Structure 1
Amino acid sequence: MSAAEREEYERLRKAAHGRHRRLRYAATSVLLLVAFLLAPLAVVAAWVDSEVSDTDRYVQTVAPIATEPSVQNTVTDRLTTRVVDSVDVAAFTDAIGRTLQREGAPPQVVQGAEALTGPLKSALTSAVHSVVNKVVTSDRFAEVWDDANRRAHAAVVKVLTGEGNSAIQAGTDSIDLNLGTLIDEVKKDLVDRGFDQASKIPDVDKTITLLETDKLNEAQDAMRLLDVVGTWLPVVVLALSALAVWSGPAHRVALMSTAIGIGIMMIVLLVGLAVMRSVYLDSVPPSALPRNAAADIYDTFIRFLRNSTVTVLVIAVITALAAFLYGPSRPSRWVRSTAAKGTGATGRAMASRGLRTGGTGRWLATHVKWTTGIAIGGGALALVLWNYPTPGAVALVLGIVVLVLIVLGVLAAASGTERRPPADSRSAPTPG
């Protein structure tokens, strides 16, 4: 092959390599963009799926609503009004007046009986409110709430999809709480307190509207769609992210980009939840639910979604930081060098005192990349297998992984043989 042919071959080879590299960058960019856009939906979909499929999780989600003072006060006021309105106090005082008139009582006495309507209704309201408040703020109310939701987990299906029956019911434009059992208990307590007429109170409306919004149908449609993809969408996002890192020309840079992008999307989701909170509170008429009660219900219901979002954000930050520390920058080299010197000094001190690890330490020193990968992989697997990990769980797993890496470094250095520091503590690795 002549020099000209070799030069032409080399030029063509470099051109093909350049095209191949550009294609890899383009493919990686597309994969990352799709993963970023799907990441918030994946978190929301996983949350919806867990609420629908996991009874314990759902009960754990809605249980605190029954203990919120704002909700208890709203339920107490509404039940009191409905019970009192079902009692015809005016008819009672009219009957007293007619009886007094038949018995020949003076007109002033008869008129006085008619004037008892207001005071009697006020006294009845006070007595009923006291009984209702005692029931609603008792453990019995929380037990009824939990039992109703546990026995009929279709409640969450009712709320999110409009299907099923339970203590929580979804109307066309509202979400209602059925308190039939508690109303019966209130009537019984009134009778026990001497209000015999309470047993004759007719059946009243046993539902309390918790939320009222003209957007419920649209929200239910969105929830149905998210429920369908709830199981697979997170898997798709993980697969796309892994494929993007694998296909990227520089794996470390692709990993860092993936973590940063997903972290940014989690921040966007948190902002979206805050905006939705404001939109929801503005859409609830004050006549339907006090603003503070509506805020407590919203915050309680989405708290696990918010926690999941923060958890993914923390994982993304840790991943991006780890990818950065593996890089060629001066701060990264300093951190790696300092860590290697610390574990090395500790291991050599152990060896000088007779605590040598011998062949095991030498094996660990020889297979640093393998042991490091296994430790990090084990931490990642623990988070995958952890049911509903929290930021605290992520911090715990991270602490354990770091501790394991430190112990492995010390054991490797305590083999009793001198070994040179790892290459990446003396010079920067090739990016990627």
Structure 2
Amino acid sequence: MHHRRLRYAVTSVLLVLAFVLSPLAVVATWAHSQVSDTDRYVQTVAPLAKDPSVQKTVSDRLTTRVVDNVDVNGITDALSNALAKANAPPLIVDKSHLLAGPLKNAITSAVHDVVNKVVTSDEFAQLWDGANRRAHAAVVKTLTGEGNSAVQAKGDAVVLDLGTVVDKVKQKLVDEGYQRAANIPDVDKSITLFRTDKLDKAQDAMRLLDITGTWLPVTVVVIAAVAVWAAPSHRIGLMSAATGIGVMMLLLLAGLAVMRRIYLDSVPPDALPPDAAASIYDTFVRFLRDGTRTVLVVAVITALAGCLYGPGRGARFVRSASSRSTGATGRAMARSGLRTGSTGRWLESHRPWTTGIVITAAALVLFFWNHPTVAGVALVLGITVLVLLILAVLAAASTPTTRKQTPS
């Protein structure tokens, strides 16, 4: 009895530790992939180039910055001087400055059309991907403070330098006939992505997550496995571990939703429109959400598998129905001449071992799969179930059933 209580205590402590560390492991894995994997980072930010709200924000900001560098008042002053030299009526000369507003609106409309064509083109998406690929060291700088690149931490903000895009817009304006656009001085080419007064603390936290990104997931799996092994009932221990980790994944998804609201409230509208800020947040964390959902689905499947191996009436019915179906199929194969002989008899006598090997192989595939998705989990589950059914059919097809002869 004392030994059993000790096992319960050890199992409980290990399970609680695994529950607490599981969401940190998911976040650490996501953060590590964003920092160390250039392709993953580019894949993360690529949709922003096609997002309508982000395109509108970039177009409006670039248009404003270009038009602000056009001296509209200077143009109207030059027009007034030209009219005065041409002996135009004084009323016309005096009223010429009223053209400044319509002229600025016309310039703004023309420039916005050109900028919008650039920003919504496939070429912009390619420029965006190329700039982010070349600037991947920016993530390292933002999260660890090392390196130099286009994305930088400035004070309490994280900004993206769009210098390449601005230069492309200026060249496009020249190509459209606005020759003076070539004389536009350099403008502010940065766009604020994030603004927070906790950036320093966030950087420290992300550095820690980056360091633990490789080993923390492994540690959680090992702790959970030891907890299941130490539990007096391995099946109950497995179901408890899966249920607890599943609950923690639900809490993590809820936490991401809360953080989204906090982030949107912290971004001033003049720094970034709410719809664009929402798109940026959702794009940056979408792989974290996907990873959390994947772990949640795996946990649910594991808990259900533990239930199916239990003594409950529903579990017994499912096992019995499956056994009857595979047995009937195997015997039908044997009667038609497709007998598996000694191989089938070996599969039948070693069914627990073959089942364990197949399930372990499926678990290892998911564990070593780089960034598995819910669809990937469903595919592995489907293949696993199919393999187990085939092995059961082959085991039942070793010999046909013989019917008892009734006396005449």
The bucket for the TM-score relative to the shorter chain is over 0.9
Further displaced range: 384-393 or 400-409: 384-393
Deviates more, 1:185-194 or 1:235-244: 185-194
**Alignment pair present for 1:66 and 2:49:** yes
> Equivalent residue of 1:235, what SS?
helix
Q: Of 200, 203, 209, which aligns to 1:220?
A: 203
| Alpha-carbon shift at residue 418 of structure 1 (Å) | 5.1
Tell me the distance in 1 between the aligned counterparts of 2:146 and 2:266: 23
Superposed displacement of residue 235, structure 1: 0.7
Q: Structure 2: state its 5+ residue gaps.
A: 403-408
- Corresponding position of 1:3: none
Q: For residues 159-203 of structure 1, give each alpha carbon's deviation from its aligned partner in whole angstroms, at most 9, with x where no partner exists.
A: 333433333222221121211112112112222222222111111
Distance 1:55 1:252 in 2: 41
CA contact (8 A) 2:161 2:190 kept: yes
SS at match of 2:337: coil
Cα RMSD (Å):
1.4
TM-score normalised over the length of structure 1: 0.90
- Aligned partner of 2:9: which letter? A
Q: Please list, as runs of the form range in 1=range in 2, the aligned pairs for 1:17-416 lying within 5 A after superposition.
A: 18-416=1-399
Distance 1:351 1:396 in 2: 30
Structure 1 contact 49–231 (Cα < 8 Å) conserved: yes
Question: In the alignment, residue 332 of structure 1 is paired with which amino acid?
Answer: A
Count, aligned residues: 402
Q: Which amino acid aligns with 1:276?
A: M
More off after superposition, 184-193 vs 338-347 = 184-193
Contact 1:155 1:165 in 2 (8 A): yes
Give the conservation status (yes or no) of the 8 Å contact 1:149–1:166: no
Letter in 1 for 2:226: L
**CA distance, structure 1, for counterparts of residue 168 and residue 373 of structure 2:** 39
Residue 176 of structure 1: SS of its match in structure 2? Answer: strand
Alignment partners' CA distance in 2, 1:171 and 1:45: 24
Q: Give the secondary-structure state (helix, strand or coil) at the position aligned to 2:338.
A: coil
* Amino acid of the structure 2 residue aligned with 1:335: V
State the 1:417 CA deviation.
5.5
Structure 2: distance between partners of 1:222 and 1:131: 42
Distance in 2 (alpha carbons) for counterparts of 1:60 and 1:288: 25
Given that 2:335 and 2:400 are in contact with CA atoms closer than 8 Å, whether structure 1 keeps it comes out as no
Partner of 2:405: none
Partner secondary structure for residue 116 of structure 1: helix
Residue range with higher mean Cα deviation, 176-185 or 83-92:
176-185
CA distance in 2, matches of 1:158, 1:288: 22
Kept in 2, the 8 Å contact 1:55–1:150? The answer is: yes
Q: Which residue does the alignment assign to 1:426?
A: none
Q: Is the 8 A contact 1:145 1:167 kept in 2?
A: no
Residue identity matched to 1:163 = E
User: How many Å separate the matches in 2 of 1:122 and 1:165?
Assistant: 39
Letter in 2 for 1:64: P
Indicate the SS of the match to 2:197: coil
Answer yes or no: is the 8 Å Cα contact 1:148–1:166 preserved in 2.
no
State the distance in 2 between where 1:295 and 1:233 align.
Answer: 30
Structure 2 letter corresponding to 1:175: V
Distance 2:79 2:160 in 1: 38
Of 334-343 and 166-175, more deviation after overlay is shown by 166-175
SS of the residue corresponding to residue 175 of structure 1 reads strand
CA distance in 2, matches of 1:106, 1:162: 64
The runs of at least 4 consecutive aligned structure 1 residues that moved more than 6 Å come to none
Q: Unaligned regions of 5+ residues in structure 1, if any?
A: 1-17, 420-432
